[in-house]
Structure 1
Amino acid sequence: MGENQQLYEVALTQLHGIGPQMTRQLVSYCGSPHAVFHAPPGKLQKIPGIGPAAYKNITQGAKQALLQAEELLKKAEEHEVQLLFYTSPKYPDRLKQIADAPTLLYFRGNGNLNQRRIISIVGTRQVSNYGQAMTEKIVADLAPYNVLIVSGLAYGVDIVSHRAALQAGLPTIGVMASGPDIVYPAVHRKYAERMLTQGGLLSESTFGTKPDAPRFPARNRIIAGMSDCTIIVEATLKSGTLITADLAHGYDKEVMAVPGNVTSPVSEGPNHLIKNHKAAIYTSVQDLVELLNWDLEDETQARKLRNQVFSPEEYTQDEIKVLTLLVQTQDEHMDNISWKTQIPVSLLASVLLTLEFKGMVKAMPGKRFGLIR
């Protein structure tokens, strides 16, 4: 059953013209990827956003998509690659929350993409001695906090981050602009191989994909989206690193920047971010600890425990998912509840109604729901 389910998950990503947001819409309304492929024509046509072109792509492209999915699953097995559909428990939860998150990820390694603390470190390819020393110090200082280090496996700050994480015994994930079977640049293969047993390699691109220029900004959104904070070490004003900072900022993620020598071109980017209040200044690990409230970890842990007091004897698994989410967010739009809990909209309506009858949830204007306090 699991393999059959994954076949339809992967096949859904192979349909022409069906992007991530439409994929989520289809799964939400139909209940599962399998149900999308077996939905009656009338049901598909009634789903919001599914116009004539999308309907044609789904109905006429289904057979080819399933064949392509079979081939992908074979290659994944050969290369020891995990195919993570966005509903997979192993898919990065932080990344799932952004609107343009990939529907399918290719992952090699043993790292936990949902580790409690995840920090991205990025910067220039032409890293200075100062930039290298600061990157190594940042990672070393993070070691006691059991952090997952994310970067892009590129020259400069990226590879220094990965190398320092390996040395510090921290797991590290390299997000690639190429397919999972192509390590770029090739000279970093020895580090990439070590990362497979101490983190891993992640990509949204299929097997054989070369790292063409347009794929790097897309890769950067994954780096920004899957972490709690992105730290910029060195970058010129025209560097792609600043794209990552802008993306993180747009996702309401924390951004920090290491100040640098005002006469150095690679310090212009971080200094600009700090000056324009687009990044908090990083001078020591304590800055990061305070920014992310790690010093209040005990209180956070207590809150998490309070979130789990809903008894399975009183509530179904889906009801507990909804209640746990609403404790964290206070109130949510129905579509967001469906997305974040992975409960199909068709089922969610009855779950919410039951919780209303139990006096736990109240309906609010604009299809929002909140806990009754």
Structure 2
Amino acid sequence: MDSSELINILALQHIPNLGDNTAKKLIRHFGSAEAIFKEKKHNLLKINGIGEARIQDLYKADNFKAAENELKFIEKNNIGYSYFQDKDYPEKLKHCFDGPILLFKRGNMDLQQKKIISIVGTRRISSHGMAFCEELIEELSPLDPVIVSGFAYGVDITAQKAAVKHGLQTIGCLAHGLNQIYPKVHKRYMPQVEENGGFFTDFWSTDNFDRNNFLKRNRIIAGLSEATIVIESAEKGGSLVTADIANSYNREVFAVPGRPGDTYSKGCNNLIKSQNAHVLTSAADLVYILNWEIKKKNEAVQKQLFVELEPDEENIFEFLRNHGKSQLDTIALNCNFPTYKAASLLLNLELKGIIRPLPGKLFEAI
């Protein structure tokens, strides 16, 4: 993209109260951001849903002055960007009506053909929540997922540090421009995250740091991912907003259940109780609901000739060898296991390369 068109896109993004959805509608109709600014006002108003209030600031010179200054910042600091019509724009975010028209980025990200999940939760994570988060990512690491979060205290940074530890890509979605970092204490983790993923934001370097930015940022966290996981949350909190947004995008939402009296389990328990989230007790739950096919990182799953199996694993494997393709409920019933335990055992067998999942939530021995 040449700098001339980028200036026009930035100017369009700068217009107050226009919104990403309206901006994208205008761009699709007229073909480019530049064409919008050249169009006569009465032609703009002919478009359904484009009212006087939304375009009243369109022709102000301040938009282009601000855009020119932001472009200088982008070029000076080697900031990357993805336009919503570009091939490198995150695929799942393209399907979100309010996804940003321009997404700024820094790092080494490759989201093509990747499993992407968001992990969010309270900033006051408990030792139990921390252990669960770290164990979950360790169990998922053979699938090589991308871990998305908000780079904040608590669940966010726990998930992103665990991703780095296991060599996974991790994306931090920021509620401010790329000229700063919040919280400042997390600056020390930035090199590791950029090496193993990076950062996304749609905020400018001139945007004031504001509490409402976090709510706007949450749509990117939810939109990037095929599933959002809430580890711990109070009865109200930003992670519940992210879960609501994910549900509005028709993405899967998972919540870790907790004791009814625990403050930071109330949000998760309410999500589950209201049927706005699946119960998540282990990586097996996620793999089962998303119907992910297990593959070892950097190599195809191959049948292992001499695999050591636990007695319960051997029980399920023998059942599949003797009965062929079977559904989870059938396996659990015939092997005398609760469904949750059968799901966990099936995940272990997939990781060992001797069974595989099939469409329709079926499993078979390899």
TM-score using structure 1 length: 0.74
Q: Provide the residue aligned with 2:5 in structure 1.
A: 5
- Structure 1 residues 50 and 20 mapped into 2: Cα distance closer, same or farther (>3 Å)? same
1:232–1:270 Cα contact (<8 Å) kept? yes
1:83–1:104 Cα contact (<8 Å) kept? yes
Q: CA deviation at 1:209?
A: 3.1
The equivalences for 1:161-240 within 5 A come to 161-240=159-238
Classify the secondary structure of the residue corresponding to 1:294.
coil
The equivalences for 1:302-317 within 5 A come to none
Classify the secondary structure of the residue corresponding to 1:149.
strand
Are 2:28 and 1:28 aligned? yes
1:151–1:223 Cα contact (<8 Å) kept? yes
- The CA distance in 1 between the partners of 2:37 and 2:157, in whole Å, is 42
The equivalences for 1:249-268 within 5 A come to 249-268=247-266
Of stretches 161-170 and 84-93 in structure 1, the one that deviates more from structure 2 is 84-93
- Structure 1 residues 277 and 44 mapped into 2: Cα distance closer, same or farther (>3 Å)? closer
Q: Give ranges in structure 2 of 5+ residues lacking alignment.
A: 296-366
1:135–1:160 Cα contact (<8 Å) kept? yes
Q: CA deviation at 1:49?
A: 3.0
1:174–1:200 Cα contact (<8 Å) kept? yes
What's the % identity of the aligned pairs? 39
Structure (1 or 2) with the larger CA radius of gyration:
2
Q: CA deviation at 1:204?
A: 1.6
- The CA distance in 2 between the partners of 1:176 and 1:154, in whole Å, is 9
- The CA distance in 1 between the partners of 2:294 and 2:144, in whole Å, is 16
Superposed CA offset, 1:66-94 (max 9, x none): 33222111101222212322222222221
Give the counterpart letter for 1:19 in structure 2.
G
Q: CA deviation at 1:43?
A: 3.4
Q: Provide the residue aligned with 1:75 in structure 2.
A: 73
Q: Provide the residue aligned with 2:347 in structure 1.
A: none
Classify the secondary structure of the residue corresponding to 1:273.
helix
Give the counterpart letter for 1:282 in structure 2.
L
- Structure 1 residues 287 and 164 mapped into 2: Cα distance closer, same or farther (>3 Å)? same
Q: CA deviation at 1:38?
A: 2.3
Classify the secondary structure of the residue corresponding to 1:46.
coil
The equivalences for 1:1-373 within 5 A come to 2-41=2-41, 43-58=43-58, 60-61=59-60, 63-295=61-293
- The CA distance in 1 between the partners of 2:265 and 2:132, in whole Å, is 12
- The CA distance in 1 between the partners of 2:17 and 2:271, in whole Å, is 37
- The CA distance in 1 between the partners of 2:128 and 2:292, in whole Å, is 27
Give the counterpart letter for 1:64 in structure 2.
D
Q: CA deviation at 1:108?
A: 1.2
Give the counterpart letter for 1:57 in structure 2.
D
Classify the secondary structure of the residue corresponding to 2:50.
coil
- The CA distance in 1 between the partners of 2:65 and 2:149, in whole Å, is 34
Classify the secondary structure of the residue corresponding to 1:277.
coil
- The CA distance in 1 between the partners of 2:13 and 2:226, in whole Å, is 27
- Structure 1 residues 192 and 265 mapped into 2: Cα distance closer, same or farther (>3 Å)? same
Runs of 4 or more consecutive aligned structure 1 residues displaced over 6 Å after TM superposition: none
- The CA distance in 2 between the partners of 1:213 and 1:56, in whole Å, is 27
- Structure 1 residues 268 and 17 mapped into 2: Cα distance closer, same or farther (>3 Å)? closer
TM-score using structure 2 length: 0.75
1:182–1:208 Cα contact (<8 Å) kept? no
- The CA distance in 2 between the partners of 1:257 and 1:68, in whole Å, is 42
- Structure 1 residues 181 and 273 mapped into 2: Cα distance closer, same or farther (>3 Å)? same
- The CA distance in 2 between the partners of 1:155 and 1:245, in whole Å, is 18
Classify the secondary structure of the residue corresponding to 1:169.
coil
Q: CA deviation at 1:171?
A: 0.6
- Structure 1 residues 53 and 237 mapped into 2: Cα distance closer, same or farther (>3 Å)? closer
Count the aligned residue pairs: 295
- The CA distance in 2 between the partners of 1:180 and 1:121, in whole Å, is 22
- The CA distance in 2 between the partners of 1:194 and 1:208, in whole Å, is 26
Give the counterpart letter for 1:28 in structure 2.
R
Of stretches 121-130 and 265-274 in structure 1, the one that deviates more from structure 2 is 265-274
- Structure 1 residues 52 and 218 mapped into 2: Cα distance closer, same or farther (>3 Å)? closer
- The CA distance in 2 between the partners of 1:211 and 1:166, in whole Å, is 27
Superposed CA offset, 1:306-355 (max 9, x none): xxxxxxxxxxxxxxxxxxxxxxxxxxxxxxxxxxxxxxxxxxxxxxxxxx
- The CA distance in 1 between the partners of 2:120 and 2:6, in whole Å, is 33
2:139–2:283 Cα contact (<8 Å) kept? yes
Superposed CA offset, 1:102-160 (max 9, x none): 22222111112455210000111111111001100111112111111000111111100
- The CA distance in 2 between the partners of 1:145 and 1:68, in whole Å, is 43
2:142–2:294 Cα contact (<8 Å) kept? no
Classify the secondary structure of the residue corresponding to 1:57.
coil
- The CA distance in 1 between the partners of 2:122 and 2:55, in whole Å, is 44
- The CA distance in 2 between the partners of 1:92 and 1:184, in whole Å, is 24
1:91–1:114 Cα contact (<8 Å) kept? no
